[in-house]
Amino acid sequence: MRIAVLNGPSLNLLGTREPAIYGHETLADIEARMRKVATELRVELEFAQRSGEGELVDVILALRGRAQGALINAGAYSHTSLAIRDAFAAAEVPFVELHLSNIFAREPERRHTVLASSAVGMLCGFGPIGYELALRGLVAKLGARG
C-alpha cells in the first residue's frame, strides 16, 4: 500500500515558525518518525511539501493510480481551496486531513475547512504525533475496505 504525505505552505518552516503553536519538531523530524511507522505498518510513503496551491494540485493529481491514500496538512489552503478538494476527487485518492493545532480553538476563519467534507477522516490538535495517528487511522480504514 502506498500513502502520500502532503504538506502545504509554510510547513517547511516547522521547528522555527511559531513554535508556541506548531512545536519545535521540523518537517524532517516528522518524516523520519513516519518512516518508522510505515515500516511497522508495511506501507510505502512518499512525501511532498509545496507552498503553491497549483503545485499541490499537481502533486495530488499525479497520485491517481499510484497511491491508495494520502494524508494532507494543507495549512491555510484547508480553509479556502476547492481546487485541492476537487483534485482529490479527480485523482480518486481517499485522504485524511490533519492539522498540528486545534483549528477549532483558533481564529474564526480557521474553524471551517473545505476539505473535511470529502476526507475519510480529520485529525487536529495533537501536534506532530498527529501525523502518526492519521497514518494509522488511514491504513486501518483502507484495510477495512478490503
Q: Which residues are catalytic?
A: 22, 99
Cα–Cα distance between 106 and 101 in angstroms, integer?
8
> Do 134 and 71 touch, CB atoms closer than 8 A?
yes
Give Cβ neighbours of residue 134 (< 8 Å, ≥ 6 apart). 71, 96, 98, 121, 123
Q: Say if CB 114 and CB 82 are below 8 A apart.
A: yes
Q: What grid cell was written down for 5?
A: 504525505
What's the CA gap between 46 and 5, in Å, rounded? 6
Strands ordered across the beta sheet of 44-49: 44-49, 2-7, 69-73, 95-99, 121-124
